[in-house]
């Protein structure tokens, strides 16, 4: 009997130890940020997608950072509690309470309709307990040890450090020859090798090896090198890149657009879509994968908006379509933004065409410089659905264009944009203090299309009625074609100089608000 009791005690102790070990192994982390293992949503009209950037655990509380592919969501409501968001030019981001491994309901308030309207969504999120934000996401290169959060906050710092010859990746069987050394651009570089191979380096740590027609892909490439093989059917979701392809005479190399025909304001893509050579294949966050596969898409060119939809980029890569992210919107001069033409020239083997096209940019830069400082200032901004004024930083290509035109920047000293946004958010109090006495208002209708007149602008905020520019009727609107005209940006400086000298005739990108 005693022996039986001893055996029972030993068995019970072993069982308890096993349970303890299992509980420790599967213990829910008490705190930290994690990649979601799975995320899905339902509800809405299907026009707006939702992604989950991360899951945050804090001593028993669970939160999710969700991103709507629209800037028009003023708040999210969970259990009748309202949560405010942060905004970029095309997204609304919210940090909300979440339930793991079970559907839960939220309501998002959109202002895209004639009146604000709450839309109900069902969300499902599952935690990836093995992937904290200190780890790279699945499929990422282990040597980079970079994740989405680091990409968003660290790109500008890496660009400021610059590139060096030593960063040229080792391409087996090919010798490094030279480096492009961009004169103005800070966020990309091109390395040249024998055999006609080129490697585009981007400040997020990515390398893209461009293989010309008739050349073989070298064996034994580093894991962090993405191969681009002379693309013939490109999917362009970055609208600003289209004018650069046009300047290279390479619109025929683009088979798919992330923008519908009605969303284009420059001729080349509109004409191509009318004749059927360019097909709409879904927006950047919701491409038609089947159409791209059947159509033979061999490259996806994305803007930094793809950072809000990393699962889309991973899906494109998984079906064999390389993803190139264009960071030109981060450049602090229009020449730097235009110099990205050499990144695309490397992919298409069109360096001579790039030389000719970029010379036009430099000629325009010289044409629209040397304007005398007028002593007048311009306030360039838009007001988002959260009631914040979104301005441009001190080191920004639009700010540079305004100053080149002879006007001062009303927001001088505001600093630089950070993270993945090109803009800086200001409260109405700070905005009023900095811009109330500005001589001109330039409203960014490219982002906020709800404003087309003086009356509609004043509806955005009552404080505007006290602004000097409003009282003097010096309100101008930036046209939607501006961001799609990367090869013509310096003409905005000409517009600025005209309006500060009292002329509203023959403006390219600006229109006076009536």
Q: Which of 132, 22, 89, 127 is nearest to 388 (CA)?
A: 89
Q: Are 100 and 61 in contact (CB under 8 A)?
A: no
Tokens at residue 239, please? 């609208």
Mean pLDDT value across residues 109-121? 82
Query: Going from the N-terminus, what domains does the chain have, and what CATH number goes with each?
Result: 31-131 (2.60.40.1850), 148-357 (3.40.50.1980), 368-512 (3.40.50.1980)
Q: Which residue has the higher pLDDT, 154 or 73?
A: 73
Q: Are 304 and 156 in contact (CB under 8 A)?
A: no
* 3-class secondary structure, 449: coil
Strands (E), 44-143: 50-58, 61-68, 73-78, 81-84, 86-87, 92-97, 104-110, 117-132
Confidence at residue 208, expressed as pLDDT on a 0 to 100 scale: 97
Mean pLDDT of the chain: 85
Q: Which of 478, 382, 300, 414 is nearest to 71 (CA)?
A: 382
Confidence at residue 151, expressed as pLDDT on a 0 to 100 scale: 45
Judge whether residue 141 has pLDDT over 60. Answer: no
Buried b (16+ CB within 10 A) or exposed e, 85-122: bbbbbbbbbbbbebebeeebebbbbbbeeeeeeeeebe
Percent of the chain residues topping a pLDDT of 90: 58
Judge whether residue 403 has pLDDT over 80. Answer: yes
Confidence at residue 423, expressed as pLDDT on a 0 to 100 scale: 81
Tens of pLDDT along 410-463?
999 988 776 556 788 888 889 999 999 999 999 999 888 889 999 999 999 989
Phi, psi of 237 (to 5 degrees): -100, -15
User: In sequence order, which residues have a C-beta less than 8 Å from that of residue 340 and are 6 or more positions away?
Assistant: 185, 188, 241, 244, 326, 328, 331, 486
Confidence at residue 56, expressed as pLDDT on a 0 to 100 scale: 86
pLDDT grade for 116, boundaries at 50, 70 and 90 = confident
**Alpha-helical runs (H) found in 69-227:** 148-161
Confidence at residue 203, expressed as pLDDT on a 0 to 100 scale: 87
Q: Are 246 and 270 in contact (CB under 8 A)?
A: no
Distance CA 417, CA 409 (A): 15
Q: Which residue has the higher pLDDT, 35 or 132?
A: 35
Mean pLDDT value across residues 387-394? 89
Mean pLDDT value across residues 67-79? 89
pLDDT grade for 157, boundaries at 50, 70 and 90 = low
pLDDT grade for 287, boundaries at 50, 70 and 90 = very high
Judge whether residue 53 has pLDDT over 50. Answer: yes
**Which letter does DSSP use for residue 285 in this model?**
T
SS (H, E, C) 290-329: HHHHHHCCCEEEECHHHHHCHHHHHHHHHCCCCEEECCHH
pTM value is: 0.72
- Residue 169: burial class (beta carbons within 10 Å; 0-12, 13-18, 19+): middle
pLDDT grade for 148, boundaries at 50, 70 and 90 = very low
pLDDT grade for 88, boundaries at 50, 70 and 90 = confident
Judge whether residue 163 has pLDDT over 80. Answer: no
Tens of pLDDT along 180-230?
989 999 999 999 999 999 999 998 889 999 999 999 999 999 888 999 999
Weakest-pLDDT range from 63-67, 89-93, 103-107, 438-442: 89-93
Tokens at residue 384, please? 């988002």
CA distances from 15 to 6, 12, 27, 340 (A): 14, 5, 18, 64
Judge whether residue 134 has pLDDT over 60. Answer: no
Confidence at residue 184, expressed as pLDDT on a 0 to 100 scale: 94
Judge whether residue 503 has pLDDT over 80. Answer: yes
Give the range with max mean pLDDT: 32-46, 58-72, 148-162, 411-425.
58-72
Judge whether residue 144 has pLDDT over 50. Answer: no
Confidence at residue 149, expressed as pLDDT on a 0 to 100 scale: 43
């Amino acid at each position: 009997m005693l022996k039986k009791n001893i055996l029972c005690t030993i068995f019970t102790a072993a069982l308890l130890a096993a349970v303890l070990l299992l509980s420790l192994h599967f213990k829910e982390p008490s705190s930290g940020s994690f990649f979601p293992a799975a995320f899905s949503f339902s509800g809405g009209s299907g026009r707006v997608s939702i992604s989950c950037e991360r899951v945050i655990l804090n001593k028993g509380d669970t939160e999710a950072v969700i991103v709507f592919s629209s800037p028009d969501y003023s708040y999210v409501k969970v259990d009748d509690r309202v949560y405010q968001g942060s905004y970029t030019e095309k997204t609304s981001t919210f940090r909300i309470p979440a339930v793991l491994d079970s559907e839960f309901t939220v309501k998002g308030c959109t202002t895209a309709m004639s009146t604000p309207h709450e839309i109900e969504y069902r969300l499902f999120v599952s935690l990836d307990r093995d992937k904290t934000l200190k780890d790279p996401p699945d499929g990422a290169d282990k040597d980079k040890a970079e994740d989405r959060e680091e990409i968003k906050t660290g790109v500008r710092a890496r660009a400021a450090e610059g590139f060096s010859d030593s960063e040229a990746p080792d391409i087996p069987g090919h010798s490094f020859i030279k480096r492009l050394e961009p004169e103005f651009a800070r966020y990309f570089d091109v390395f040249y090798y024998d055999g006609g191979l080129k490697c585009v380096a981007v400040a997020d740590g990515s390398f893209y090896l461009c293989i010309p027609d008739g050349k073989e892909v070298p064996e034994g490439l580093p894991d962090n090198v993405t191969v681009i093989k002379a693309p013939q059917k490109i999917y362009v979701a970055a609208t600003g890149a289209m004018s650069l392809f046009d300047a290279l005479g390479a619109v025929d190399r683009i088979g798919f657009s992330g923008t519908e025909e009605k969303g284009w304001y420059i001729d080349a893509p509109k004409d191509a879509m009318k004749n059927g050579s360019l097909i709409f294949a879904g927006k950047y966050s919701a491409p038609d994968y089947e159409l791209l596969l059947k159509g033979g898409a061999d490259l996806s060119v994305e803007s930094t908006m793809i950072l809000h939809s990393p699962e889309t980029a991973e899906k494109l890569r998984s079906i064999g379509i390389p993803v190139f992210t264009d960071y030109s919107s981060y450049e602090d001069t229009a020449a730097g933004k235009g110099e990205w033409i050499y990144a695309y020239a490397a992919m298409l083997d069109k360096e001579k065409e790039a030389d000719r096209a970029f010379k036009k940019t430099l000629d325009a830069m010289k044409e629209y410089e040397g304007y005398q400082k007028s002593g007048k200032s311009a306030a360039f901004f838009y007001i988002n659905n959260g009631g914040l004024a979104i301005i441009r930083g001190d080191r920004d290509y639009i700010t540079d264009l305004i100053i080149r035109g002879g006007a001062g920047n009303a927001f001088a000293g505001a600093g630089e944009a950070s993270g993945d946004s090109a803009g800086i958010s200001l409260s109405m109090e700070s905005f009023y203090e900095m811009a109330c006495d500005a001589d001109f208002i330039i409203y960014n209708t490219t982002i906020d299309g709800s404003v087309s007149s003086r009356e509609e602008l004043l509806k955005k905020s009552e404080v505007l009625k006290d602004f000097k520019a409003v009282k003097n009727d010096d309100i101008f609107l930036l046209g939607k074609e501006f961001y799609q005209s990367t090869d013509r940006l310096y003409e905005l400086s000409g517009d600025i100089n005209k309006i500060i000298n009292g002329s509203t005739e023959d403006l390219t990108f600006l229109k006076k608000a009536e």
